[in-house]
Structure 1
Amino acid sequence: MSSNNHNFLFASLDSKAPLTARKVHIRRLYDILQLCIQRKDPRRAKRAWAVLARCKEVRWSSMWKTGLLLLGENIDDELPSAPRKVEYLRTMMLHHTDERENILKELLFRLILLEKYREALDELELYLPSFPYQDNPVLHIYAGLISLFLSQSTAHDSISFDPIVLRDAQARFEHVKLLDDDNIVAQVFLDKVRFFYCIIPYFAYVTPS
């Protein structure tokens, strides 16, 4: 049978038609991997992944999203596996400079999930001043939201705000508007920040921009 007659369930790897029996088996195994992921069967998916990762034809490190997904015991339950995934993502950032923006977003999500807000903001402040991160609205949105959260403190059933951190959040949302004037998320939270300035007497001396 010609290799061109083989049918596969998922587009994979280099998407070229396999020319040898070995490559056909690898493509079949990739189908099994993806099918197990779709069926939320991490045990079998990990077994398929373990075999694929040993194949010289497979650049497993470039498939970091699949590796990230399979780190947990339960594909849908992020929290228990979040610490391992944070370490995994930090390692991937060192090896895949061309994917750092996407990896950074995944890293931020896990740090926030672990309630490590200050650490997440530190990561952003490390990268945001440089290209191409400085032109990424999503990363600035993350920074603004985290700053807004960190500006709040609760005591005696009342909420107060740190004016310096709140102004920092405002500046980040305003920067997003410079990058993307139609960004609805930035506008919504920018309006909220300005609203805080208006209703909280503590900020009466602050003039919103």
Structure 2
Amino acid sequence: MPRNFDFIRSLNDDFFLTVRRAHLINLYELLVTSLSNRNYCRANRVVEILLQCPEVDVTHVWRAAIDVLIHLGNAEKMCIEFFNQMLLHTRCKEEVLLELISFQLHSGKPRDALETLETYLTQTPYKDNPLIFGYTGMLAFALWEQTNVIINGPNATIDQESEDVNEKPVVHDLDLCIEQRARYYELSISSLRISLEMDKSNDMFLIFYTQLLLADDMVDETLDIVRSFCNQNPHIVVGYRLLFNILYKHRNKDSEWVQAGKLYHRMDPFSPPEAVLNPLINYYENLIVNQTSIMDKRQLAEVHYNILELLFQRIENGDNEFEYVKDAIIHFTWLEFFDPQRELIDILLENRAWLRTFFWFPNNKTITCWQYMHYYRMLAVFCGHKSLRKQLANKFNKLKYYILVIHIFIVVKIY
């Protein structure tokens, strides 16, 4: 518990003697020390004294009091009663309510926590707090998922709230579970909608909200909401991740998912490869294999350019996957073949001066063996950032020739 200077400032000299003020400050310091040393018995006594002093604003000590109550193993009923008293006598009512919800959840009482939130939702100041509505929606979402498991599972299941393994299994009423599931769904989706209307930047609540909409097959409405979120919050990557995932799963026959994936990967090049990079690479490689005969040089050059853009984003952001460098060499060779005027190459290498030095000094990147280092150097040479002697230049030209011949052979063999 950090030292609370607000507590000290609240002890105004105009209302009581300086000596008493000093005693109260010392008591507060003792409380901080006791909590840091986990001496909860002494901390309990200090809290009792502070709460009896009319000069002390309970706002500054209620968290410590709750911490003491929990660690001393007081009855749950006593803790709940203390929370209720704090809701009546503190200015920070919303913070106390959220702490109460957290306590009920840690006590294994999610339904009680939801009932508590529902009780305060329509009251001031809670009705204007997007977090209160958001947490209500999340709790209802969790209970909705729980009832789904019960409904889709066997008729006889062990009560989720019981910790006694010797208790007999409880047979759930299927009709009651279906009714509860509908109620939890409506409560969750309405609460999350209100929360997002109040705070349009909360990506955590957006995730749960979209899951509920998709569970009801409302794909178009979900896409509209996520697109609106991305427009209003262009720097929050979660929105772009959701947009890509929804398009890739539900609208993958259109090319919009590709553009969404490129934007998502540009914003988050550290994302797991299987999340967005691999689907995009597979899409472009399938274009190369399946449509080489009908695509002109410019289109093929753009495909290789897009693959290189993705690979460079991974490499320049510190991804040490060796295969990315090898693939970049191959695709750059083909880009050079299909783009003799170097229009796309110049765009690709624009603002990428790091290629000139980044790959030539091993202390700037973790290289596990010299073979890796040679491949990095090779990529720098292929990109035109390193001049070579005639003998080495001939070797690199032969390598480019082999890359082109092998790829053509593979494509012909497939057809």
Question: Structure 2 length as normaliser, TM-score?
Answer: 0.40
| Contiguous gaps of at least 5 residues in structure 1 | 1-8, 199-203
Q: Secondary structure at the match of 1:24?
A: helix
Q: Which residue of 1 aligns with 2:199?
A: 180
The match for 2:214 among 195, 200, 204 is 195
Match in the other structure for 2:71: 73
Alignment partners' CA distance in 2, 1:59 and 1:165: 39
Alignment of 1:2-151 (within 5 A): 11=5, 13-15=7-9, 20-60=18-58, 63-73=61-71, 82-96=76-90, 98-151=91-144
Mark the CA change 1:72 to 1:127 in structure 2 (over 3 Å): closer, same or farther: closer
* Shift in alpha-carbon separation, 1:155–1:207, aligned structure 2, 3 A: farther
Equivalent residues of 1:10, 1:31 under 8 A apart = no
SS at match of 1:37: helix
Amino acid at match of 2:71: E
Conservation of the 8 A alpha-carbon contact between 1:82 and 1:113: no
Q: Verify the 8 A CA contact 2:192 2:205 in the aligned structure 1.
A: yes
What TM-score, normalized by structure 1, do the two folds share? 0.73
Q: For the residues of structure 2 that align with 1:190 and 1:31, how far apart are their CA atoms?
A: 44
Letter in 1 for 2:201: D
2 CA distance for matches of 1:139 and 1:195? 23
1:60/1:125 Cα in 2 relative to 1: closer, same or farther (>3 Å)?
closer
Distance 1:21 1:188 in 2: 54
The letter of the residue matching 1:21 is: V
In structure 1, what residue type is equivalent to 2:82? Y
Q: State how far apart, in whole Å, the 2-side matches of 1:164 and 1:32 are.
A: 49
| Matched letter for residue 86 of structure 1 | I
CA distance in 1, matches of 2:210, 2:88: 38
The one-letter code matched in structure 2 to 1:136 is N
1:64 and 1:92 in contact (8 A); partners too: yes
2:193, 2:209 within 8 Å by CA — same for their partners in 1?
A: yes
Give deviations 1:48-83, integer Å, cap 9, x for gaps: 333434445434576322221211335xxxx87644
Helix, strand or coil: the match of 1:72?
helix
Q: Write the distance in 2 (CA, Å) between the matches of 1:61 and 1:118.
A: 28
Contact 2:140 2:185 in 1 (8 A): yes
Q: Is the 8 A contact 2:47 2:61 kept in 1?
A: no
- Give aligned pairs, total: 190
Shift of the 39–121 alpha-carbon distance from structure 1 to 2, 3 Å rule, reads same
Change in 2 beyond 3 A, CA 1:81/1:34? farther
Instruction: Give the root-mean-square deviation of aligned CA atoms.
Output: 3.3
Shift of residue 187 of structure 1? 0.8
Structure 1 window deviating more from structure 2 (16-25 vs 180-189): it is: 16-25
Structure 2: how far apart are the matches of 1:17 and 1:133?
A: 31
Judging changes above 3 Å, is the alpha-carbon distance between structure 1 residues 183 and 148 closer, same or farther for their aligned structure 2 residues? same
Q: Deviations over 1:114-166 (max 9, x none)?
A: 33333322222222123321221111111101211222323486499723421
**TM-aligned CA deviation for residue 31 of structure 1:** 0.9
| Greater helix proportion | 2
Could you tell me which amino acid in structure 1 is paired with residue 18 of structure 2?
T
Match of 1:50, as an amino acid?
Answer: E
Moved more, 138-147 or 123-132: 123-132
Shift of residue 183, structure 1, vs aligned partner: 0.7
Q: SS where residue 32 of structure 2 aligns?
A: helix
Question: Quick one: structure 1 residues 187 and 25, their matched pair in 2 at CA, closer, same or farther if it must change by over 3 Å?
Answer: same
Is the Cα–Cα contact under 8 Å of residues 151 and 166 in structure 1 kept in the other structure? Answer: yes
Q: How high is the sequence identity, in percent, across the aligned residues?
A: 23
Task: State how far apart, in whole Å, the 2-side matches of 1:191 and 1:175 are.
Answer: 14
Amino acid of the structure 1 residue aligned with 2:78: R
Offset at 1:102? 1.7
